[in-house]
Amino acid sequence: MTEESDEFDVVVLGAGAVGENVADRASRTGLSVAVVEHALVGGECSYWACMPSKALLRPGDARAAARAVPGIGAVGQLDVAAVLARRDEVAAHWDDAGQVAWVEGAGLTLLRGRARFTGPRALAVEAADGTVRAVTARRAVVVATGSVAVVPEVFAGVRAWTSRESTSAHRVPARLAVVGGGVVATELATAFSDLGSEVTVLVRGDRLLASAEPFAGEAVARGLAAAGVRVAFGASVTSASRDDDGVHLVVEQRPVSGQGGQGETGVALPGRLTVDEVLVATGRRPATDDLGLEVLGLRPGDALEVDDRLQVQGVGGGWLFAAGDVTGRTATTHQGKYDARVVGDVLAARFDPRPAAEAADGAVPHGLSRQGEADAAPWSRYRATADSSAVPQVVFTRPQVAWVGPTAQGARDGGTAVEVYAYELGDLAAASVTAADYAGRAQIVVDTSRDVVVGATFVGPDVADMLHAATVAVVGEVPLSRLWHAVPSYPTLSEVWLRLLEAAGR
């Protein structure tokens, strides 16, 4: 039963990192903005994804770094209880009071409840107590409802862990199976191995991190093997059951062509495996099942396909937008927030509620301009141009993997003629002072017709922070002849840029 009704200029569905950013940006010219959230304000990243997973990984990283430097005395075991307690703090004890205060401080209206479309620009928001509130958006609705873990049918009856249960776990299973070979699988296998679990990773394919350069997955496979993690390639779970002894998995393993280090590091499994928990890390799907999308002529469960303004395709009237994981276009917080800034600026400029004279160029907050939005071209603040050419990703495994832009093969498949230049990070002066046996690799993919870097990959300890220089080079389309004048400091790992440019003939 509808008890209340409300109208706002803009309504944002989902108060994850992306929804929060959309709402904040959209409100900058004075539009009234409501954010609807049925769980915790802050979303997946704050409580069950980026933040707690990185809190679980950091102690092992620090320990490995200390162990790699001669002269530091014995480095002990992790204090598991303390690590979990620190993780709890990083996840704000799953209490969103701090983020609610931010939302309110930003002048946004928070509506607690689950939102569903009842028509164009019309929503029903159902609160936990069953109260339903009709909410209308005068100008636009932005869907930022994120994604949920995919759990294959075979695991339906065993109370399998997803990333949520593992990042919020309060005990460490003695034996853990991890299904999948992507980012979640490799990061959480690393974390639970650090915490003392005996970890077996079951990879259906023949490589880890299939969307990265092959040498990255090979290095991570070697790192996991060195940490005592068993990685089984070509391994599929055909049945799963749980009893008092744990979870019993029947695993079929086909021979896979040995891919360099991965072929050497992979293990053969007996057909059965018993573990205390199984973590299913087999990807995510957009959270659109229960949004009432059918009333808009869209199919529930599908990703919301958007253009570079983040406007949803297939719905007329120019009022429906989407950003973040729900679009299937981005799968990281940083790229989702980039899209959030774009759509927020589009809405703030396009629907600027102030009189036209006041809203003329130069007289508007933050340089937003109605005309600027109308005339926007690629690379303007109103177009998410980087999504198709310069998406950065860091995987916090040991070694870390960081890349931006396409792989060499991806660039070639896209029709770009490229040359590839690589350098072993261990040969840098900085490597010898960083650790006794520092090992890693950097590679750039150069578009030979334009003489610019279109992709870069870094693998090694602490390479995460090296990525942004590459992202700047890719986005800026800086010619190698000009990059040559960007002098990296000595002795830092960034000196790899000098070596890569030398390899490219400078």
Ligand X SMILES: Cc1cc2nc3c(=O)[nH]c(=O)nc-3n(C[C@H](O)[C@H](O)[C@H](O)COP(=O)(O)OP(=O)(O)OC[C@H]3O[C@@H](n4cnc5c(N)ncnc54)[C@H](O)[C@@H]3O)c2cc1C
Ligand Y SMILES: NC(=O)c1ccc[n+]([C@@H]2O[C@H](COP(=O)([O-])OP(=O)(O)OC[C@H]3O[C@@H](n4cnc5c(N)ncnc54)[C@H](O)[C@@H]3O)[C@@H](O)[C@H]2O)c1
**Pairing state between β 109-112 and 33-37:** parallel
Strands 147-149 vs 284-286: parallel, antiparallel or unpaired: antiparallel
Nearer to ligand Y among residue 56 and residue 418 (C-beta): 56
Binding mask 133-152 for ligand Y (x = CB under 6 A): -------------------x
Q: With respect to ligand Y, which residue has the nearer C-beta, 331 or 473?
A: 331
Site for ligand X (CB under 6 A): which residue of 27, 29, 167, 416? 167
Distance of closest approach, residue 500 Cβ to ligand Y, in angstroms:
24
**Between the CA of residue 27 and those of 95, 344, 476, 503, what are the distances in Å?**
25, 8, 29, 49
Distance CA 304, CA 496 (A): 40
Alpha-carbon distance of 415 to 421, in angstroms, equals 19
Integer Cα distance of 371 and 380 in angstroms = 12
Shortest spacing between CB 50 and ligand X, in angstroms: 4
Q: Is 16 in the site for ligand X (CB under 6 A)?
A: yes
CA–CA distances in Å: residue 44 to residues 48, 182, 273: 5, 18, 31
Q: Is the CB of residue 108 less than 8 Å from the CB of residue 24?
A: yes
Output the CA–CA distances (angstroms, integers) from residue 380 to 188, 350, 353, 369, 470, in the order listed: 37, 14, 22, 12, 20
**Residue 336 is a binding residue for ligand X (CB under 6 A):** yes
CA distance 368 to 382: 10
8 Å CB contact between 33 and 10: yes
Please report, as a single letter, which amino acid is at residue 51.
Answer: M
User: Considering CB under 6 A, how many residues would be counted as binding ligand Y?
Assistant: 22
324-363 positions binding ligand Y, by CB under 6 A: 331-332
Q: Which stretch binds ligand Y (CB under 6 A): 20-28, 181-189, 343-351, 356-364?
A: 181-189
Q: What letter does residue 317 receive in the DSSP assignment?
A: S
User: Of 10, 18, 275, 446, which one interacts with ligand X (CB under 6 A)?
Assistant: 18
Q: Is 43 in the site for ligand X (CB under 6 A)?
A: yes
Q: Are strands 132-143 and 122-126 parallel, antiparallel or unpaired?
A: antiparallel
Examine residue 19 and tell whether it contacts ligand X (CB under 6 A).
yes
115 is a contact residue toward ligand X (CB under 6 A): yes
The yes or no reply on residue 13 touching ligand X (CB under 6 A) is yes
Q: Give whichever of 334 and 354 is closer to ligand Y, judged by the CB atom.
A: 334
Q: How far is CA 383 from the centre of its chain?
A: 20
CB of 163 to ligand Y, least distance (A): 7
Residue 217 to residue 180: CA distance in whole angstroms:
13
Shortest separation between residue 235's beta carbon and ligand Y, angstroms: 8
The correct pick among 27, 333, 369, 400 for binding ligand X (CB under 6 A) is 333
Least Cα distance to 53 among 15, 87, 94 occurs for 87
Chain positions 254 to 293 lying near ligand Y, rule: CB under 6 A, are: 281-284
Which residue in the set 186, 332, 369, 457 belongs to the binding site for ligand X (CB under 6 A)? 332
Write phi, then psi, for 169 (nearest 5 degrees): -60, 145
Separation between Cα atoms, residue 166 and residue 277, nearest integer Å: 10
Report the residue number, 260 or 283, with the smaller CB distance to ligand Y: 283
**Residue choice 10, 26, 31, 49 for contact with ligand X (CB under 6 A):** 49
Under the criterion CB under 6 A, does residue 163 sit at the interface with ligand X? yes
Choose one: 4-12, 183-191, 226-234, 445-453; the region binding ligand Y (CB under 6 A). Answer: 183-191
Binding positions for ligand X, 286-325, rule CB under 6 A: 287, 291, 324-325
DSSP 3-state percent helix, strand, coil across the chain (nearest 5): 35, 25, 40
Q: Work out whether 37 is an interface residue with ligand X (CB under 6 A).
A: yes
Nearer to ligand Y, 120 or 152 (CB): 152
Site string for ligand X, 116-155 (x = CB under 6 A): ----------------------------xxxx--------
- Binding ligand Y (rule: CB under 6 A), the pick from 144, 291, 395, 501 is 395
The least distance separating ligand Y from the CB of residue 325, rounded to whole angstroms, comes to: 8
The residue among 125 and 408 lying less far from ligand X, judged by its C-beta, is: 125
Q: Does 387 bind ligand X (CB under 6 A)?
A: no
Contact 494, 469 (CB under 8 A): yes
- Select from ligand Y, ligand X, none the partner in contact with residue 180, using the beta carbon and a kind-dependent cut-off of 5 to 8 Å: ligand Y
DSSP codes joined into one string, 359-401: TSTTSSGGG--HHHHHT--TTSTTS-GGGGT--EEEE-SSSEE
Pick one of ligand Y, ligand X, none as the site partner of residue 33 (Cβ within 5 to 8 A by kind): none
Of the candidates 184, 223, 175, the one whose C-alpha atom is nearest the C-alpha of residue 56 is 184
Choose the one of ligand X, ligand Y, none that binds residue 282, judging by a C-beta under 5 to 8 angstroms depending on kind.
ligand Y
Tell me the H-state helices in 91-243: 97-105, 163-167, 183-194, 214-226
**Measured from the CB atom, is 163 or 434 closer to ligand Y?**
163
> What residues have CB less than 8 Å from 206, skipping those under 6 apart?
233, 234, 256, 257, 259, 262
Give the per-residue contact string, 431-470, with ligand Y (x = CB under 6 A; - = no). ----------------------------------------
Q: What residue ranges bind ligand X (CB under 6 A)?
A: 13-19, 36-39, 43-45, 49-50, 53-54, 114-115, 144-147, 163, 167, 184, 287, 291, 324-325, 331-334, 336
- Footprint of ligand Y on this chain (CB under 6 A)? 152, 179-185, 187, 204-205, 210, 281-284, 331-332, 393-396
